[in-house]
Amino acid sequence: MKKKKLEEEISRYFSEMEKKPPISDETFEEDRVLARIRENIAYKEKSSYRRSRWIRIAASMAIFFALGLAWYIGRQFETTTFETVSFAEHPILPGNQSAILTLADGSKINLDSLGEGSFTTADGIEVIVDKDGNISYQHRHNVELTTPKLHRIETPKSAQYALQLPDGTKVWLNSLSQIKYPIEFVGPQRKVELVGEAYFEVVHNPKQPFIVVTAQQEVNVLGTSFNVFAYPSEPEQTTLIEGSVKVSCGNNELMLIPGQQAYTSIDGFLSMKTVDTSTFTAWKDGDFSFQDTPIKEIMNQLSRWYDVDVVYQDAPDNLRLSGMVSRSKQLDTVIDVLEMTGKVKFSLEINQQTKERRIKVKSL
């Protein structure tokens, strides 16, 4: 590379010399000429490096300035687009009965748009929708399933749903939850997968145990009633109402009796405690029940049921509230009940451009 540059400079030097008056052989010194050419090359390389270095510095400064400007504009936009409004002028309605059914072939059915009736899947399973929108399954006995086909029911925010599994087990799904299950239970066990929260009333079958699998727990039962809380990024809870269950987490196992709860922390530690089960099953019966409940757990429930975001202003993590109110009420009624504790104040903010809604929480 250096040799090529030297040859180019020598060629350029003699081209320039040809434009000048001729010089005698005595005045031409080859060594001095080559030294001067090498100096020119070194000077140009140094200048090029300096220019390249300053270009890189300038580009970095431009990127830093652009990021800073974007952050500042974003902050300004955030603080100016949400405005405080009254709950009375902007009522927020409760959730309803709604869900999406995903069939084994991947096709999706909006269950709240079906109405009362039934349809048969390609595998010969009849899906029945009652007048309240709940679904159940009826197997056509002349159809043999060698490989279980899986269905999935998922509820969005501000919705819940009830269904009956092919074995007769009843399941209530809370908002923002999903359950995956076979359309016929074959083999030595009945296994379903859950994300979110569900209440189960399991049909007794000692020859075919019922198993609920979540991200951290595995609940093994024969016939019983229990509630499983398994939302992502929240501690998992299995609360036993009737019967008995075995809860596993990794290599740890717990046997529960009615009134006990298996609790798995975010880091995977399994423990057990005695609880008032009504607090953890009230949602299935249409109520919110808070008993010395942490504020963030309360607001997570309200966020899922009323489809609102939550922001905290001076609300400590150890703030706990109590109260009970129907889930059929508008959000402002629930807010009033919580504010009666005298510990907290809520305000409603709306982004008029995007129509986003959020609740601001401030402790008193």
When pLDDT is averaged across residues 288-313 and rounded to a whole number, the result is 95
The reported pLDDT for the residue numbered 187 is 87
Q: What is the largest CA-CA distance in the chain?
A: 116
pLDDT at 113: 75
Pairwise pLDDT comparison (42 vs 162), residue with the higher score: 162
Instruction: Determine the average pLDDT of the residues in 73-101.
Output: 82
> How much is the mean pLDDT over the chain?
84
Does the structure show a pLDDT above 60 at 6? no
Reported confidence tier of residue 255, pLDDT bands at 50, 70, 90: very high
Arithmetic mean of pLDDT, 266-286: 95
Q: Region 312-335: what's the mean pLDDT? A: 92
Inform me whether the pLDDT recorded for 58 exceeds 90. no
First CA to last CA distance, the chain:
74
Confidence of residue 26 (pLDDT cuts 50, 70, 90): very low
Q: Place 231 in a pLDDT band, splitting at 50, 70 and 90.
A: very high
Bigger pLDDT: 103 or 211? 211
Closest CA to 363 of 303, 268, 299, 307: 299
Q: With 90 as the cut, is the pLDDT of residue 25 above it?
A: no
Of 177, 157, 160, 181, which is closest to residue 169 (Cα–Cα)?
181
Tell whether pTM > 0.85: no
Q: Any idea which residue has 């299995």 for tokens?
A: 238
Residue 19: the pLDDT is 55
When mean pLDDT is compared across 77-86, 180-189, 292-301, the lowest value belongs to: 77-86
More confident residue, 191 or 3: 191
pLDDT at 223: 86
Q: What is the pLDDT of residue 184?
A: 86
Residue 24 pLDDT level (bands cut at 50, 70, 90): very low
**Better-predicted residue by pLDDT, 28 or 154:** 154
Q: Does residue 302 contact residue 311 with C-beta atoms inside 8 Å?
A: no
Q: What pLDDT is recorded for position 75?
A: 57
Backbone angles phi, psi at 64, to 5 degrees: -60, -45
Shortest CA distance to 101 belongs to which of 159, 54, 155, 147? 155
Mean per-residue pLDDT, 67-77 = 58
The DSSP 8-state label assigned to residue 25 in this structure reads G
Q: Which long-range contacts (CB under 8 A, 24 or more apart) does 263-267 make?
A: 263/235, 263/236, 263/237, 264/216, 264/217, 264/235, 264/236, 264/237, 265/235, 266/233, 266/234, 266/235
The span from the CA of 149 to the CA of 364, in Å, is 53
